[in-house]
Amino acid sequence: GLRIKQQAFIEATEAPGRRIYERPWDGIFGLSGLSKSAITGARPIWRTMMDEGVVTKKVFSIWLRRYSDSGENGGEIVFGGIDQEHFTGAHTYVDAEGPHNTFKINSFFVGKIDTKVCSKGCKVLVDSGSTYIRGPPNLIVKINKQIGIAADCSNYDKLSEFISFTIAAKTFTLTPRDGKVFAAIVKLITPDSLS
């Protein structure tokens, strides 16, 4: 295990909204590279690990079990490395920039159609605390229109299209089987640094 010396711990006894209650949760873990949380002022645990030299490599990896799969283990996070048991093939590495660990994607396709929303490249971030794909409203409206999802998700089960995006010259694809991510492509007003 890893030993961390100076870390604030916050226990939430209530959470607004219903999404947090739809699935079993163990908690929420701060993986930001920020020196402190904009909300609480606490230093995120990943920043503490790096600052205290607890990890030799500034890499963390996340493995998630599909919720419908059987078994107790819903996933795993490894700090300072990768668990070789949970992947095949090669990893794609990108240099993360800034306090929010942003990186660039070069295209975003719905089926075989280029949405052209990232034709000049888009800065994005991966939020391990969310299942949503979020973005500026004008881009998200275009993407959702091409996917063809109804506002109330009533046609979700009939979707056959996939979405794919290119990161570091490698294409990554999500199919409807990968979860209701299509229904969760939502509008988000982003700071200028992310748009």
Helix (H) or strand (E) holding 138: helix 137-147
Query: What pLDDT is recorded for position 70?
Result: 59
Same domain, 39 and 62: yes
pLDDT band at 53 (very low <50, low <70, confident <90, very high): very high
Beta-carbon contacts of 98 under 8 Å, excluding residues fewer than 6 positions away, are 33, 193
Question: Which one, of 43, 73, 195, lies nearest residue 122 by Cα?
Answer: 195
pTM assigned to the model:
0.67
Task: Note whether 117 and 107 are within 8 A (CB).
Answer: no
d(CA 17, CA 141): 24
Same domain, 73 and 155: no
First to last CA, the chain: 38
Under a CB-based contact definition with an 8 Å cutoff, are residues 147 and 110 in contact? yes
138-159 tens-digit pLDDT: 777 777 777 777 767 777 777 7
pLDDT at 52: 92
- Encode pLDDT of 106-148 as tens digits: 888 888 888 887 888 888 877 776 666 777 777 777 777 777 7
- Return d(Cα 44, Cα 34) in angstroms, integer: 7
What's the CATH code of the domain at 112?
Answer: 2.40.70.10
3-state secondary structure of 50: helix
Using left for φ > 0, alpha for ψ between -120 and 50, and beta otherwise, residue 112 falls in: alpha
Say yes or no: 108 and 171 in one domain.
Answer: yes
Sort strands 185-187 and 133-135 into parallel, antiparallel or unpaired: parallel
Q: Return the residue matching tokens 């229904």.
A: 183
CA distance 100 to 38: 12
How high is the pLDDT of residue 191? Answer: 47
Residue 137 is part of which domain span?
92-195
Q: What would the mean pLDDT of 67-75 be, rounded to a whole number?
A: 63
Domain stops at, among 42, 70, 88: 88
User: Is the same domain home to 109 and 189?
Assistant: yes
Residues 6+ away with beta carbon under 8 Å from 7: 43, 45, 48
Higher-pLDDT residue of 124 and 35 is 124
The answer on 103 and 192 residing in a single domain is yes
**Selection from 88, 96, 98, 122 nearest residue 108 by Cα:** 122
Q: In whole angstroms, what is the distance from residue 3 CA to residue 22 CA?
A: 32
Please identify, among 26, 59, 88, the residue that sits at the C-terminal boundary of a domain.
88
